[in-house]
């Protein structure tokens, strides 16, 4: 080969920056219903192409088509729609509460509601999620009280975490929702350990690990895949690819080729890619992976292709790094509207009923908010005691902490 001259350093860049016209023409979207549904005991080597396609159920006309359709009845779909709408309304209210100074921080799910809401319905009681900070749909879909979520966000006197945690870092063992940590990716390998423990104990429960596209670059993503692969742990390894990690586009975590799902293939882990804005597809794929895990067939990696329509957090302004209208151009659309259209198409829903449901949900969320604010907000009303700061670090308080608590005058 001829002398190639000077080396040049490569830094991936998104196609478009602020001021540009959103362009997703490079995102290949397969037709709904076009990806086959293999048996759960399929030889992973024979379905490698599924890591490069996208499983979709809902087509443009709002019909559910193909082999992944038909798992949910109308009642279940209406419940799913309600969960997503509730999460969206909850987000909007809490976003506003942050702007009003009632809490220090909030993170929305806008555009990603289907992923966690639909996934939850594929699990059984006793299964355990190891979520990131953007899967509150798991709680909403499991009936976790909204007031309790708000109490945590407000760090008030009724906060189940006693004001120790940043807003949205919920914890509920009872609802299969592992304590959220600020340190990214740590929970991914912990989920695998939980699943290993279930297998060691000859239990039938499974774990679900959650991570975003950006955090797949963390070493614990690799740790989790190695351990899940080695011990065939009953875990679903979820990657929510919402295209953005704060300001960095997904190419910074992944480079210009392949998919996040494809990362599972090198570990011998079957990997599926699914339309994250398609409630039915998310549920169907989650169910497939859950059945595999429960049948002792081992882990599955699932990449949810979606788009982070909102800001990263209340501390972020996306217009500084991406076009303002980019979410409108996102080819997989809006999960709420797509499910709504599907139900209308089936005759199980209407525009009027939707408008009415929106109003009802808003009323419910506002009522919950009122109740939560009765327990206080971050800077006003009831708050956790200073004593709570010293409690609960160890099961039994060691002498040095007792001394410090006394020094603090509590």
Partner 1 sequence: MPRKTMIEAIRDALDVSMGRDERVIVYGEDVGFFGGVFRATQGLQAKYGRSRCFDAPINESGIVGSAIGMAAYGLKPCVEIQFADYMYPAYDQLTQEAARLRYRSNGDFTCPIVVRMPTGGGIFGGQTHSQSPEALFTHVSGLKTVVPSNPHDAKGLLIAAIEDPDPVIFLEPKRLYNGPFDGHHDRPVTPWSKHELGEVADGHYSIPLGKAAIRRQGSAVTVLAYGTMVYVAQAAAEETGIDAEIIDLRTLLPLDLDTIVASVKKTGRCVVVHEATLTSGFGAELAALVQENCFYHLEAPVARVAGWDTPYPHAQEWDYFPGPARVGRALVETLEA
- Say how far apart CA 375 and CA 382 lie, in whole Å: 6
**What DSSP string describes 150-217?**
HHHHHT-TT-TTTT-S-TT---BTTTTBPPP-SSTTHHHHHHHHHHHHHHHTT----EEEEEETGGGG
The binder of partner 1 chosen from 169, 253, 261, 361 (CB under 8 A): 169
Q: Does 154 bind partner 1 (CB under 8 A)?
A: no
Q: Does 332 bind partner 1 (CB under 8 A)?
A: no
Closest to partner 1 by CB, 61 vs 200, is 200
The binder of partner 1 chosen from 162, 287, 338, 383 (CB under 8 A): 162
Closest to partner 1 by CB, 76 vs 157, is 157
Nearest to 130 by CA among 170, 167, 177, 165: 177
Task: Work out the number of other CB atoms within 10 angstroms of the CB of residue 256.
Answer: 7
The binder of partner 1 chosen from 144, 178, 244, 279 (CB under 8 A): 178
Residues near partner 1 (CB under 8 A), total: 47
- Say how far apart CA 118 and CA 123 lie, in whole Å: 10
Closest to partner 1 by CB, 104 vs 171, is 171
Q: Does 230 bind partner 1 (CB under 8 A)?
A: yes
Going by their DSSP bridges, the two strands 207-212 and 128-130 should be labelled as parallel
- Say how far apart CA 48 and CA 269 lie, in whole Å: 10
The binder of partner 1 chosen from 8, 10, 45, 400 (CB under 8 A): 400
Stretch that binds partner 1, among 12-20, 68-76, 166-174, 301-309 (CB under 8 A): 166-174
Structure tokens at 403: 């001394």
Nearest to 345 by CA among 153, 74, 76: 74
Q: How far is CA 253 from the centre of its chain?
A: 18
Contact 307, 250 (CB under 8 A): no
Stretch that binds partner 1, among 20-28, 48-56, 183-191, 247-255 (CB under 8 A): 183-191
The binder of partner 1 chosen from 3, 41, 49, 395 (CB under 8 A): 395
Which residue pairs, CB below 8 angstroms and at least 24 apart, start in 390-395? 391/162, 392/162, 392/164
Q: Does 193 bind partner 1 (CB under 8 A)?
A: yes
Stretch that binds partner 1, among 73-81, 191-199, 322-330, 343-351 (CB under 8 A): 191-199
Helix, strand, or coil (residue 49): helix
The binder of partner 1 chosen from 28, 46, 73, 183 (CB under 8 A): 183
Contact 317, 10 (CB under 8 A): no
Q: Does 198 bind partner 1 (CB under 8 A)?
A: yes
Q: Does 313 bind partner 1 (CB under 8 A)?
A: no
Task: Work out the number of other CB atoms within 10 angstroms of the CB of residue 238.
Answer: 30
Q: Does 161 bind partner 1 (CB under 8 A)?
A: yes
Stretch that binds partner 1, among 28-36, 38-46, 102-110, 392-400 (CB under 8 A): 392-400
Site for partner 1 in 74-133 (CB under 8 A): 128, 130
Closest to partner 1 by CB, 199 vs 309, is 199
Residue ranges in contact with partner 1 by CB under 8 A: 128, 130, 160-162, 164-165, 169, 171-173, 178-179, 181-183, 186, 188-201, 207, 219-220, 222-224, 226-227, 230, 392-395, 398-400
């Amino acid at each position: 080969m001829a002398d190639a001259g000077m080396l040049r350093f490569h830094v991936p860049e998104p196609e478009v920056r602020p001021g540009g016209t959103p362009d997703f023409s490079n995102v290949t979207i397969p037709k709904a219903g076009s990806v086959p549904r293999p048996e759960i005991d399929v030889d992973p080597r024979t379905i490698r192409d599924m890591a490069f396609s996208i499983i979709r159920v809902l087509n443009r006309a709002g019909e559910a088509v193909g082999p992944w359709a038909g798992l949910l009845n109308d009642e279940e779909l209406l419940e799913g729609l309600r969960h997503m709408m509730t999460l969206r309304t909850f987000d909007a209210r809490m976003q506003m509460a942050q702007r009003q100074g009632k809490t220090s921080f909030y993170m929305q799910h806008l555009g990603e509601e289907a992923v966690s809401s639909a996934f939850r319905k594929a699990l059984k009681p006793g299964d355990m999620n190891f979520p990131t900070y953007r899967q509150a749909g798991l709680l909403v879909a499991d009936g976790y009280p909204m007031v309790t979520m708000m109490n945590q966000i407000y760090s008030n006197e009724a906060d189940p975490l006693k004001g120790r945690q940043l807003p949205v870092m919920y914890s509920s063992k009872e609802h299969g929702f592992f304590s959220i940590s600020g340190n990214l990716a740590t929970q991914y390998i912990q989920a695998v350990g939980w699943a290993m423990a279930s297998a060691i104990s000859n239990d039938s429960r499974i774990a679900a690990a959650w991570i975003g596209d950006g955090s797949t670059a963390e070493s614990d993503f690799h740790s989790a895949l190695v351990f899940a692969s080695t011990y065939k742990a009953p875990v679903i390894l979820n990657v929510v690819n919402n295209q953005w990690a704060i300001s960095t586009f997904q190419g910074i975590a992944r480079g210009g080729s392949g998919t996040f799902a494809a990362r599972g293939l090198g570990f011998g882990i079957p990997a599926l890619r699914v339309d994250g804005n398609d409630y039915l597809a998310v549920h169907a794929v989650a169910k497939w992976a859950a059945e595999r895990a429960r049948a002792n067939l081992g882990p599955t990696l699932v990449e949810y292709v979606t788009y982070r329509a909102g800001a990263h957090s209340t501390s972020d302004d996306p217009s500084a790094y991406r076009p303002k209208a980019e979410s409108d151009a996102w080819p997989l659309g809006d999960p709420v509207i797509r499910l709504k259209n599907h139900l209308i198409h089936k005759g199980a829903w209407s525009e009027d009923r939707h408008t009415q449901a929106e109003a009802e949900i808003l009323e419910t969320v506002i009522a919950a908010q009122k109740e939560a604010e009765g327990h206080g907000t971050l800077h006003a009303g009831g708050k956790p005691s200073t004593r709570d700061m010293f409690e609960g670090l160890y099961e039994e308080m060691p002498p040095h902490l007792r001394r410090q608590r006394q020094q603090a005058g509590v």
